[in-house]
């Protein structure tokens, strides 16, 4: 009886698998391929030898050989996948930059840090000027009752002066009794009431804040804008004190070559009243289009406290007198920075805003 050509099959398979596992690199494995699963493999030689067998034997031997080949191919495939993976990992390792010893250079790219807007910055500068002059800074509500915004300021219902302030009414309580304040003057009233209640007169205070009017925005007006109000209540205060404060402020804020002047005007809560004007900051008083060739620009209103206002808050006008002034912070910023159109203040165009950092 002849020995089956497959007598050594399992040994061959073990050898082939050992050979596969010995391949240390993909290149080694590829080089060995013909000897393992290719034409020069012992498996192929055995395959050919099956032709000499009787048909019955050939069939079972063929199946056995097929099974063995499948096992070897599987081992080959597993090894190849492993070596491919190892090769890829090595390539990545080789490509990796070792930053361990590298001193990271300090890159001086400026961070995009914001800064206060022009109006906020102007408000702080104005507060600084007034604090240096001995004023405190006070705050008041933006939503006011009709009494604080108008009546206590000697502007009774149906008074024609209400036409000076186109008002936004808030839909609260009785119609037309709650308003978005049209000026900072109601804060004066709060301050005086508090001082009376606390028996803490005199008052030297400025009150900055946002105000609202039904103005259509244009180059010189915004519907939401900012004012700063000044209030002094003390003994023996005269109009000269008012004029002196305005002039001192003008020099401090705008510079020594910009002066102020007062022109008669009317406000229901001051008597006498004045508009205060400053030297045109564009032409420095020479006369230009902005100041209609006058050399002066109006900044705000002022005057001695009207006795009716002192009476409304319960201050004895025989003992105390005082003055008030108010002007637009946005207008101030516009003049100091020579901004042609005030709407630029609320457009949020960074090309504009960056100029004021």
Contact flag: residue 209 with ligand PHE (CB under 6 A): no
Rounded to whole angstroms, what are the CA distances from 324 to 5, 217, 281, 297?
120, 27, 24, 20
Contact flag: residue 302 with ligand PHE (CB under 6 A): yes
Shortest distance in whole angstroms from residue 300 CB to ligand PHE:
6
Contact flag: residue 276 with ligand PHE (CB under 6 A): no
DSSP state of 153: G
Q: Which stretch binds ligand PHE (CB under 6 A): 99-107, 142-150, 191-199, 298-306?
A: 298-306
Strand segments (E) across the chain: 136-137, 143-145, 178-180, 203-212, 224-234, 260-267, 270-279, 296-305, 321-328
Q: Binding mask 216-255 vs ligand PHE (x if CB under 6 A, - otherwise)?
A: -------------x--------------------------
Peptide bond into 347 cis (omega under 30): no
How far apart CA 351 and CA 67 sit, in angstroms, is 78
Contact flag: residue 130 with ligand PHE (CB under 6 A): no
* Residue 68 DSSP SS3: helix
Strand segments (E) across 281-350: 296-305, 321-328
Residue 208 or residue 300: which is nearer to ligand PHE going by CB? Answer: 300
CB 213 within 8 A of CB 228: no
Contact flag: residue 19 with ligand PHE (CB under 6 A): no
Task: Centre a 10 Å sphere on the Cβ of residue 138 and count the other Cβ atoms it contains.
Answer: 19
How far apart CA 319 and CA 357 sit, in angstroms, is 48
Contact flag: residue 296 with ligand PHE (CB under 6 A): no
How far apart CA 339 and CA 332 sit, in angstroms, is 10
Of 45-84, which residues contact ligand PHE (CB under 6 A)? none
Instruction: Please select the residue that binds ligand PHE; options are 205, 326, 329, 333, rule is CB under 6 A.
Output: 326
Shortest distance in whole angstroms from residue 117 CB to ligand PHE:
22
Residue 73 or residue 298: which is nearer to ligand PHE going by CB? Answer: 298
Residue 5 or residue 300: which is nearer to ligand PHE going by CB? Answer: 300
Residue 40 in tokens: 């020069």
Task: Centre a 10 Å sphere on the Cβ of residue 115 and count the other Cβ atoms it contains.
Answer: 11
Shortest distance in whole angstroms from residue 333 CB to ligand PHE:
17
Share in percent of the chain as helix, strand, coil (round to 5) = 45, 20, 35
Contact flag: residue 5 with ligand PHE (CB under 6 A): no
Contact flag: residue 303 with ligand PHE (CB under 6 A): yes
Nearest partner of 226 among 126, 355, 324, judged by Cα: 126
Residue 5 or residue 301: which is nearer to ligand PHE going by CB? Answer: 301
How far apart CA 22 and CA 35 sit, in angstroms, is 13
Phi and psi at 330, nearest 5°, equal: -65, -40
Contact flag: residue 150 with ligand PHE (CB under 6 A): no
Of 165-194, which residues contact ligand PHE (CB under 6 A)? 183, 185
Shortest distance in whole angstroms from residue 239 CB to ligand PHE:
13
CB 293 within 8 A of CB 283: no
Contact flag: residue 148 with ligand PHE (CB under 6 A): no
Contact flag: residue 321 with ligand PHE (CB under 6 A): no
Q: Which stretch binds ligand PHE (CB under 6 A): 43-51, 121-129, 297-305, 338-346?
A: 297-305
Q: Which residues bind ligand PHE (CB under 6 A)?
A: 183, 185, 229, 267, 270, 300-303, 324-326
């Amino acid at each position: 009886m002849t020995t089956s050509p497959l007598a050594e099959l399992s040994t061959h398979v073990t050898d082939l698998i050992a050979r596969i596992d010995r391949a240390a690199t993909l290149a080694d494995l590829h080089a060995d391929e013909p000897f393992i699963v290719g034409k020069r493999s012992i498996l192929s030689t055995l395959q050919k030898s099956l032709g000499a067998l009787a048909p019955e034997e050939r069939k079972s031997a063929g199946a056995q050989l097929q099974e063995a080949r499948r096992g070897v191919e599987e081992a080959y495939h597993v090894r190849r996948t492993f070596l491919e993976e190892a090769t890829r990992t090595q390539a990545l390792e080789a490509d990796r930059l070792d930053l361990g010893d590298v001193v990271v250079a300090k890159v001086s790219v400026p961070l995009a840090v914001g800064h206060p807007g022009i109006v906020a910055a102007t408000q702080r500068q104005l507060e600084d000027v007034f604090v240096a002059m001995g004023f405190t800074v006070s705050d008041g509500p933006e939503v006011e009752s009709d009494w604080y915004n108008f009546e206590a300021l000697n502007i009774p219902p149906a008074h024609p002066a209400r036409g000076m302030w186109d008002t936004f009414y808030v839909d609260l309580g009785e119609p037309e009794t709650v308003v978005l304040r049209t000026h900072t003057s109601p804060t004066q009233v709060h301050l005086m009431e508090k001082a009376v209640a606390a028996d803490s007169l005199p008052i030297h205070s400025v009150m900055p804040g946002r105000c609202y009017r039904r103005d259509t925005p244009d180059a010189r007006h915004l519907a939401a804008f900012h004012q700063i109000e000044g209030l002094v209540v003390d003994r023996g205060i005269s109009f000269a004190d008012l004029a002196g404060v305005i002039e001192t402020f003008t020099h401090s804020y705008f510079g020594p070559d910009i002066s102020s002047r007062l022109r008669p005007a009317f406000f229901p809560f001051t008597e006498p009243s004045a508009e205060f004007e400053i030297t045109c900051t564009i032409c420095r008083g020479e006369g230009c289009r902005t100041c209609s060739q006058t050399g002066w620009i109006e900044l705000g209103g002022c005057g001695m406290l009207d006795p009716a206002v002192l009476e409304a808050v319960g201050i004895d006008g025989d003992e105390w007198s005082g003055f008030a002034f108010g002007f637009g912070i946005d207008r101030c910023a516009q003049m100091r920075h020579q901004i042609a159109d005030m709407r630029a203040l609320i457009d949020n165009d960074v090309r504009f805003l960056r100029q004021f950092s």
